[in-house]
């Protein structure tokens, strides 16, 4: 059971007033708020454990190194990866996908090879592949969706050719909320001997992820979407793949030896972590993962599903309401349009009532094109939200409706 009063107490920002009204924060898909323990961890890191990590002989450097490597193990356990060497710290999902796109293309693809993505991808799982397409002449194949916002799996199966080298798909859509059957997708791809990258930016905060059970080849997520700090994220990669791929960036930390004649690279995971890593961010991310773990992902999923069902029912009370994405497996994200009211107007007016939602294309313009719209209003929920907040949100929409 979720103890909502105690949870909300952990997030000081939720007590805030916006435009004189208590804040209702429904923009969790964009970023989540931070519990006190995460902020305190950052403060404690800078006050007490701050020194550049690795190779330092002095006390503080060793303490900071230990904390950073312990954080890597926390991420490893969280994802159920088999080794800490499979956990690479990045700046976020976007950087992790760019890393794989660049290194995988260099090592494993040549002109005419194909990558399968889907129409529901975030720009960060489209544009890195387009950059590689321009550089190396690879081709993108796109899985369409059905009217409920689910991937067309029959078409997906038909997209494989002998030139398919990688499948790169989102686990949970940031617009539709659709949770894709990623295990089935991975099985299908592996039957064709094709590895799979999973964009877990939206799934990891809401669904228990076990990369070993999924047999994912690469799995990426961002710290800030799972109650951790901004500027840190994770690339999980099977060791055999990470060993095969060349470094993404060059610099300190990622080398074994450097001379002007020849440089050799460091072992995993450091080969992919050029420069001073965010060793404060990594420990704060680990703190966030422990916090989520204490509440329990099964409890989080059950409570958020209850909120999703309630919000969806209440939104359907409005005449002329269009909800985008009604997948059988869906996370707590609702994108909608009410009659002809522009999403921007809806977002602005709700903001005056203290209610934070996101409006626009949500970094998924190709999806908007497929849906034949320019944008939506999106309300995305967290375990710290409540039915009372949903009631205030519904009353807010009613007021906006009356103004039009
Ligand atoms: N993928 C999905 C599905 C997302 O929702 C987002 C962010 O909204 C990203 C990738 C990019 O995440 P970041 O900006 O943290 O790198």
Query: pLDDT for 299-352, tens place per residue?
Result: 999 999 999 999 999 999 999 999 999 999 999 999 999 999 999 999 999 999
What pLDDT is attached to residue 56?
Answer: 85
Burial 9-33 (b: 16+ CB within 10 A, else e): ebbeebeeeeeeeebbbbbbbeebb
Token pair for 258: 């450097």
What pLDDT is attached to residue 187?
Answer: 98
Residues 121 and 174: their CA atoms lie apart, in Å, by: 9
What pLDDT is attached to residue 42?
Answer: 98
Strand-pair category, 358-360 with 376-380: antiparallel
pTM: 0.98
Residues carrying an active site annotation: 363
Residues 337 and 132: their CA atoms lie apart, in Å, by: 35
Q: What is the SS3 assignment for 89?
A: strand
Residues 336 and 323: their CA atoms lie apart, in Å, by: 4
For residue 71, give the H/E element and its range. Answer: helix 59-79
Quote the ligand 1 centre to 256 CA distance (angstroms). Answer: 32
Quote the ligand 1 centre to 263 CA distance (angstroms). Answer: 34
Burial 45-75 (b: 16+ CB within 10 A, else e): beeebeeebbeeeeeebebbbebbeebbebb
Quote the ligand 1 centre to 261 CA distance (angstroms). Answer: 40
Question: 269: cis peptide before it, omega within 30°?
Answer: yes
Token pair for 107: 């090592």
Q: Which residues make beta-bridge pairs with 235?
A: 88, 220
For residue 356, give the H/E element and its range. Answer: strand 355-356
Question: Which stretches in the chain have pLDDT values below 70?
Answer: none
List all residues whose CB is within 6 A of at least one atom of ligand 1: 29, 92-94, 122, 124, 170, 174, 199, 201-202, 222, 363
Residues 155 and 157: their CA atoms lie apart, in Å, by: 5
Quote the ligand 1 centre to 177 CA distance (angstroms). Answer: 13
Quote the ligand 1 centre to 227 CA distance (angstroms). Answer: 14
Tokens 């590895």 — which residue? 195
Quote the ligand 1 centre to 93 CA distance (angstroms). Answer: 6
Ligand 1 mutation pick, 122, 168, 177, 367, max ligand atoms within 8 A of CB: 122
Closest ligand 1 atom to residue 172 Cα is 3
> What number of residues does the chain have?
404
Do 120 and 364 form a contact (C-beta atoms < 8 A)? yes
Ligand 1 mutation pick, 27, 121, 127, 174, max ligand atoms within 8 A of CB: 174
Quote the ligand 1 centre to 378 CA distance (angstroms). Answer: 15
- Name the residue with the closest Cα to ligand 1, atom 4: 201
Alpha helices in 109-160 (DSSP H): 127-136, 153-158
- Name the residue with the closest Cα to ligand 1, atom 12: 93
Strand-pair category, 164-170 with 139-143: unpaired
Residues 235 and 221: their CA atoms lie apart, in Å, by: 7
Closest ligand 1 atom to residue 170 Cα is 3
Strand-pair category, 376-380 with 333-338: antiparallel
Ligand 1 mutation pick, 222, 228, 230, max ligand atoms within 8 A of CB: 222
- Name the residue with the closest Cα to ligand 1, atom 8: 30
Tokens 């067309």 — which residue? 152
Residues 349 and 200: their CA atoms lie apart, in Å, by: 32
Closest ligand 1 atom to residue 31 Cα is 8
Closest ligand 1 atom to residue 174 Cα is 5
Quote the ligand 1 centre to 244 CA distance (angstroms). Answer: 26
Residues 318 and 320: their CA atoms lie apart, in Å, by: 6
Do 100 and 235 form a contact (C-beta atoms < 8 A)? yes
Closest ligand 1 atom to residue 92 Cα is 16
What pLDDT is attached to residue 309?
Answer: 98
């Amino acid at each position: 059971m979720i103890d909502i009063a105690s949870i909300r107490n952990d997030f000081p920002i939720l007590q805030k007033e916006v435009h004189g009204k208590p804040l209702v924060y429904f923009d969790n898909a964009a970023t989540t708020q931070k519990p006190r323990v995460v902020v305190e961890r950052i403060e404690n890191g800078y006050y007490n454990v701050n020194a550049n990590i690795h190779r330092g002989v002095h006390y503080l450097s060793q303490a900071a190194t230990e904390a950073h490597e312990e954080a890597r193990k926390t991420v490893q356990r969280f994802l159920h990866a088999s080794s800490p060497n499979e956990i690479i710290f990045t700046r976020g999902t976007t950087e992790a996908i760019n890393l794989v796109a660049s290194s995988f293309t260099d090592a494993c693809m040549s002109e005419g090879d194909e990558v399968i993505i889907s129409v529901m991808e975030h720009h960060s799982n489209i544009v890195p592949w387009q950059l590689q397409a321009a550089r190396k002449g690879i081709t993108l194949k796109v899985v369409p969706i059905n009217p409920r916002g689910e991937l067309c799996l029959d078409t997906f199966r038909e997209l494989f050719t002998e030139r398919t080298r990688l499948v790169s798909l989102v686990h949970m859509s940031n617009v539709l909320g659709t949770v894709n059957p990623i295990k089935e997708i991975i099985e299908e791809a592996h039957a064709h001997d094709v590895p799979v990258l999973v964009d877990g930016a939206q799934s990891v905060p809401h669904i228990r992820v076990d990369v070993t059970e999924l047999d994912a080849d690469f799995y990426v997520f961002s710290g800030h979407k799972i109650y951790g700090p901004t500027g840190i994220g994770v690339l999980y990669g099977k060791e055999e793949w990470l060993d095969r791929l060349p470094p993404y960036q060059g610099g300190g930390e990622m080398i074994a030896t450097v001379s002007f004649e020849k440089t050799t690279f460091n072992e995993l995971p450091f080969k992919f972590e050029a420069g001073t890593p965010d060793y404060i961010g990594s420990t704060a991310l680990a703190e966030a993962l422990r916090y989520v773990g204490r509440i329990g992902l099964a409890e989080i999923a059950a409570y958020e599903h209850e909120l999703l069902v309630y919000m969806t029912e209440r939104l359907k009370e409005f005449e002329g309401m269009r909800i985008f994405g009604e997948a059988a497996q869906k996370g707590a994200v609702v994108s909608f349009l009410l009659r002809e009211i522009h999403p921007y107007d809806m977002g602005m007016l709700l903001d005056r009532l203290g209610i934070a939602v996101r409006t626009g294309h949500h970094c998924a313009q190709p999806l908007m094109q497929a849906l034949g719209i320019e944008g939506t209003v999106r309300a995305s929920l967290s375990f710290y939200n409540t039915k009372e907040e949903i009631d205030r949100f519904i009353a807010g929409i009613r007021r906006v409706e009356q103004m039009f």
